[in-house]
Structure 1
Amino acid sequence: MRSTLSRYILLAKRWAWVIILGMVICGGTTYLVTKLLMQPVYEAQTRLLITLPGSSQNDSTVAAMAQQPTYNQLVTNPNVLSPVAAKHGMTVKQLSSMVKTQPATNTLIIDVLVDSSDPQLAAQLSLEVAQSFTSYANTRLGSQANFNILNPVVPTDPIRPRPSQDSLIGALVGLGLALAIIVIFEWIDDRLTSPEEVNKLLGIDALTIIPELSRKQRSKNAEETPELAEGCRILCANLNMAQMLRPFKLVMVTSSMAGEGKSTIAANMASFLAMSGKRVLLVDADLRHPVLDQHFQVNNHKGLSNAFLEMWSQVEGELDGQPTEIPSLRVLTAGVLPSNPSELLQSQLASQLFNHFRNTQKFDYVIFDTPPLLPIADAQIMAAYMQVTILVVDASRTPRKAMVRAKQALNRTGTRVLGVALNKSNWPEFGEVQDYLSNIQSRPRADITMSMPPNTPQINHAIDATNTAILPSANNKR
C-alpha cells in the first residue's frame, strides 16, 4: 500500500508540469479564441400560451396539453417560416437553422427560441414566428385554440460563447489530454519504478541509493552533502561486509551506458574506504575517456597505459599510482590514450598486469573505474580479470532492457556481480532520509582524528593524516 502511494507521489511530482501546462494551454487558448475570435450569439424567447374552450377549465386544460406536441412541431413548419423569411430576405432554410421550439413541461406554454448575433433581430424574429404560427393555425388549420403571445425581451447576455465557462471546459480537456499523454509515456517507459525492482529484474541487490542532487549540492564536496556522503558510506559498508564473507581485492565499477555517474561513485567510494582506514588504489581504467586525473588534480603523463607501451620492468614500480590528500588513497591515472585499447586488454601483458594488482600486498582494495559495458568491449574484457563488479545505474533514465543486457554481459565474463549502486534517485522515500540527516547534522560533534589500524603502514607518507579529503562533488558525471 505504501509503495503504491509512493509511486503515485513520484508520478505526480514527475508529471505535474505536464498537467499544469496542458490545462494552462488548453484553457488559455479556449479563453482567447472565444473572447477575441468568436462572434457572440444571443437567444430571444417568445412564449405561446395555448387555451381551448371547454365545458370546464380542467377539460380545456387536458385538451390543450394533448394538442401541445402537435403545435410544437408546426411552429417550425416551412409554411409558418416562409412569410417571416421573405420579409427579412432570408431563405426558409436559413431561418429554420435559427429557430427552435421548446415545450414547457406540464404547462400549456410553447417557447419559440431564435438565435442570432443581433439581439434586436433575434427578438423580432422570435415574435414574428410566433405571430405567423398563430395566423397559420387559425386560418389554415381551423384551430379552435387561442394563442396568447407574450412579447419577448431583447437579450443582453450572449448564450455563447461564454469565455469563463468555455475556458474551464478547455482546461478540463487539457487535463484529459495531459493524463492521456502521461499514461502513454508511463506505459512505454522502461525505467525502474522502485529500488525493490532491481532484485526482481536482475537477481542482485541494490547496495546503495543516492538521490538526485540539486545544483547547489553538486557544487559542494561529498562530505558537505549528507545524502551523497551517507549513500557512499552505505556502499562502502556493504563492500566491506562482502569482503569479510568472501575475500576479494579487485573491484570493477561500471555502468551499462555512459553518463550514469560511475566515475564519481568510484572516486567517492575509494575516498570513503580510504578515510575508514583501508588502503586503496583507484585505477582509471577508461582508456578512451579518463576523468580521474581531473577529479583528483593529478598528473596524467604516466598511468595504466604505460604498462602496455613500455617495458614491464620499467613500469611495475609506477603501478602504485600517485598520492592524494587522503593518506591511504592512491590514484593510478589512465596515462597516454592508446589507439587500440581493446586489443591491448586482451594481450598477455594484460593478464600479467591484473595478476600484479591481485597479488599486491600494498592495498586492501584496487578499484577500477572502467568504461560503460554496452557501447564498447573494454569493460567486458576487463570484467574477466575482476573478482567483483558493482553496476552503477542511473535510476532516473536507464532503461530496464539496458540493465538486463549489462547484467547478461557480466554473467558471461565470470565476474561476481556484487550489486547495483542506484544513482540520481527521485523516489520519495528519500524525504524521510533527508529529514533524519538534517536532524543529526544539527547536533554538536567532537572532532576525532582516526588512527590507522595496527601494523598498517600509510601509503602516502608525505601527507599528514589530519588533512581533509578533497572528494568529487557531483553525482551526475561519468
Structure 2
Amino acid sequence: MRSTLSRYILLAKRWAWVIILGMVICGGTTYLVTKLLMQPVYEAQTRLLITLAGTSQNDSTVAAIAQQPTFNQLITNPNVLSPVAAKHNMTLKQLSGMVKTQPGTNTPIIDILVDSSDPQLAAQLSREVARSFTDYANTRLGSQANFNIIDPVVPTDPVRPRPSQDSLIGALVGLGLALAIIVIFEWIDDRLTAPEEVNKLLGIDALTIIPELSRKQRSRNAEETPELAEGCRILCANLNMAQMLRPFKLVMVTSSMAGEGKSTIAANMASFLAMSGKRVLLVDADLRHPVLDQHFQLNNQKGLSNAFLEMWAQVEMELDGQPTEIPSLRVLTAGVLPSNPSELLQSQLASQLFNHFRNTPKFDYVIFDTPPLLPIADAQIMAAYMQVTILVVDASHTPRKAMVRAKQALNRTGTRILGVALNKSNWPEFGQVHDYLSNIQSRPRADIAMSMPPNTPPVNHAIDATNTAILPSANNKR
C-alpha cells in the first residue's frame, strides 16, 4: 500500500507540469476565444399563462395543464412563426433556430425563449411570437383558452458565451487531455518505477540508491550533501561485505549508456573507501572520453595508455597512479588517448597489465571507471579481466531494455556482477532519509582521526593523514 502511494506521489511530481500546462492552455485559450472572438448571445423570455373560461379556478388549472403540451408544440408551428419572420425579413428556418419553448412543471405556463445577438430584437421577437400564437389559437383553432402574455424584459447579460464558466470547462477538458497523455506515456514508459524492480528485472540487488541532486547540491563536495554521502557509504559497505565473503580486488564501474553518472559514482566510492582506511587505486579506463583527471585536477600526460604505448619496464612503476589529497587514494589517469583502444585492450599486453593490477600488494581495491557498455566494445572487453562489476543505472532515464542488454553483455564476459547502483533517483522515500540525516546532524560530533591498519602505510607518503578530502560533487556527470 505504501509503495503504491509512493509511486502515485512520484507520478504526481513527475507529471505535474503536464497537468498544469494542459489546464492553463485549454482554460486560457477558451477564455480568450469566448471573450474576444465569439459574439455574445442574449435570451429574452415571454410567458404565456393559460386559463380556461367557465370553470372553477381549480378545474381551469387542471384543464390548462392538460392542454399545455399541445400548445407548447403549436408555438413553433410554421403558421405561427411565418408572419413574424416575414415582418423582420427573416426566413422561417432562421427564426425557428432562434425560438424554443419551455413548458412549466405542473403549472399552466409556457415560456417562449428567443436567442439573438441583439437584446432588443430578442425581446421583440419573443413578444411577437407569443401574440402570433395567441391569434392563431383563437382564430384557427377556436380554442376556449385565454392566453395572458407577460411581456419580456430586455436582457442585459448574455447567456453565452460566459468566459469564466467556459474557461473552467476548458480547464477541465485540459485536465482530461493531460491525464490521457500521462496514461499513454506511462503505459509505453520503459523506466523503473521502484527500486524493487531491479531484482525482478535483472536478478541482482540494488547496492545503493542515490537521489537526484539539485544544482546547488551538485556544486558542493560529496561530504556536504548527506544524501549523496550516505548513498556512497552504503555502496562501500556493501562492497566491503562482498569482499569479505569472496575476496576480490579488481572492480569495474560501468553503465549501459553514457550520462548515467558512473564516473562520479566511481570517484566517490573510491574516495569513501580510502577515507575508511582502504588502500585504493582509481583507474580512468575510459580511453575515449576520460574525466577523472578533471575531477581530481591531475596531470593527464601519462596514464593507463602509456602501458600500451611504451615499454612495459618503463611504465610498470608509473601504474601506481598519482597521489590525491586523500592519503590512501591514488588515481591513474587515462593518459594520451590512443586511436585504437579496442584493439589495444585485446592485445597480449592488456592481459599482462590487468594481471599486474590483480597481483599488486599495494592496494586493497583497484577500481576501474570504464566506458558505457552498449555504445562501444571497450567495457565488454575489459569486463573479461575484472573480478566484479558494479552497474550504474540512471533511475530516472535508463530504459529497462538497455539494462537487460547491459546485463546480458556482462554475463557473456564472465565477470561477477556485484549489483546495481541506482543514481539520480526521484523516488519519494528519500524525504525520510533527508529528515533522518537532518536530525542526526544537529547533534554535536567529535572529530576522530582515521589511522591506517598495522603494517599498511599510506600509499601517498607525502600527504599528512589529517588532510580533508575534496570529493567530486556532481552525480549528473558521466
Normalised to the residue count of structure 1, the TM-score between the two structures is: 0.99
SS at match of 1:330: strand
Deviation of the 1:58 alpha carbon: 3.8
Contact 2:388–2:415 (8 Å) recurs in 1: yes
Task: State the alpha-carbon separation in 1 of the partners of residues 185 and 60 from structure 2.
Answer: 66
Deviation of the 1:15 alpha carbon: 1.1
Residues 332 and 190 (structure 1), Cα distance of their counterparts in 2 relative to 1, 3 Å cut: same
Deviation of the 1:64 alpha carbon: 2.2
Task: State the alpha-carbon separation in 2 of the partners of residues 265 and 360 from structure 1.
Answer: 24
Give the match for residue 477 of structure 1.
477
Deviation of the 1:184 alpha carbon: 1.1
Deviation of the 1:290 alpha carbon: 0.4
Deviation of the 1:28 alpha carbon: 1.5
Task: State the alpha-carbon separation in 2 of the partners of residues 333 and 303 from structure 1.
Answer: 5
Task: State the alpha-carbon separation in 1 of the partners of residues 2 and 61 from structure 2.
Answer: 66
Give the match for residue 84 of structure 2.
84
Give a deviation string over 1:343-386, Cα, whole Å, max 9, x none: 11111111111111111111100000000000000000100100
Deviation of the 1:185 alpha carbon: 1.1
SS at match of 2:419: strand
Contact 2:268–2:472 (8 Å) recurs in 1: yes
Worse-superposed segment, 399-408 or 12-21: 12-21
Contact 2:61–2:107 (8 Å) recurs in 1: no
Deviation of the 1:400 alpha carbon: 0.7
Give a deviation string over 1:79-124, Cα, whole Å, max 9, x none: 1111111111111111110001111111111111100111111011
Give a deviation string over 1:197-218, Cα, whole Å, max 9, x none: 1111111111011111111111
SS at match of 1:253: strand
Deviation of the 1:241 alpha carbon: 0.2
> What's the RMSD between the two structures over aligned residues?
1.0
Deviation of the 1:53 alpha carbon: 3.0
Task: State the alpha-carbon separation in 1 of the partners of residues 64 and 432 from structure 2.
Answer: 75
Task: State the alpha-carbon separation in 2 of the partners of residues 159 and 407 from structure 1.
Answer: 65
Task: State the alpha-carbon separation in 1 of the partners of residues 421 and 54 from structure 2.
Answer: 93
SS at match of 2:254: strand
Task: State the alpha-carbon separation in 1 of the partners of residues 91 and 118 from structure 2.
Answer: 18
Task: State the alpha-carbon separation in 1 of the partners of residues 64 and 270 from structure 2.
Answer: 96
SS at match of 1:456: coil
Are 1:262 and 2:246 matched, yes or no?
Answer: no
Deviation of the 1:62 alpha carbon: 3.1
Task: State the alpha-carbon separation in 2 of the partners of residues 57 and 463 from structure 1.
Answer: 112
Task: State the alpha-carbon separation in 1 of the partners of residues 350 and 179 from structure 2.
Answer: 54
Worse-superposed segment, 34-43 or 233-242: 34-43
SS at match of 2:236: helix
Deviation of the 1:65 alpha carbon: 2.1
Deviation of the 1:139 alpha carbon: 1.1
Task: State the alpha-carbon separation in 1 of the partners of residues 108 and 276 from structure 2.
Answer: 94
Give the match for residue 227 of structure 1.
227
Give the match for residue 253 of structure 1.
253
Task: State the alpha-carbon separation in 1 of the partners of residues 238 and 67 from structure 2.
Answer: 89
Worse-superposed segment, 52-61 or 181-190: 52-61
Give the total of aligned pairs: 478
Task: State the alpha-carbon separation in 1 of the partners of residues 125 and 104 from structure 2.
Answer: 20
Deviation of the 1:51 alpha carbon: 1.6
Contact 2:261–2:476 (8 Å) recurs in 1: yes
Worse-superposed segment, 364-373 or 216-225: 216-225
Task: State the alpha-carbon separation in 2 of the partners of residues 67 and 136 from structure 1.
Answer: 15
Deviation of the 1:52 alpha carbon: 2.0
Worse-superposed segment, 446-455 or 387-396: 446-455
Give the match for residue 189 of structure 2.
189
Give a deviation string over 1:115-163, Cα, whole Å, max 9, x none: 0111111011000000001111111112121111111111111111111
SS at match of 1:51: strand
Worse-superposed segment, 362-371 or 154-163: 154-163
SS at match of 2:237: helix
Give a deviation string over 1:15-74, Cα, whole Å, max 9, x none: 111111111111111112111221111111111111223444444333322221111111
Contact 2:210–2:423 (8 Å) recurs in 1: yes
SS at match of 2:431: helix
Worse-superposed segment, 12-21 or 206-215: 12-21
Give a deviation string over 1:407-443, Cα, whole Å, max 9, x none: 1110111100000001011110000100111111121
Task: State the alpha-carbon separation in 1 of the partners of residues 399 and 300 from structure 2.
Answer: 34
Normalised to the residue count of structure 2, the TM-score between the two structures is: 0.99
SS at match of 2:122: helix
Task: State the alpha-carbon separation in 1 of the partners of residues 63 and 109 from structure 2.
Answer: 13
Worse-superposed segment, 55-64 or 222-231: 55-64
Task: State the alpha-carbon separation in 2 of the partners of residues 158 and 48 from structure 1.
Answer: 23
Worse-superposed segment, 210-219 or 59-68: 59-68
Deviation of the 1:260 alpha carbon: 0.3
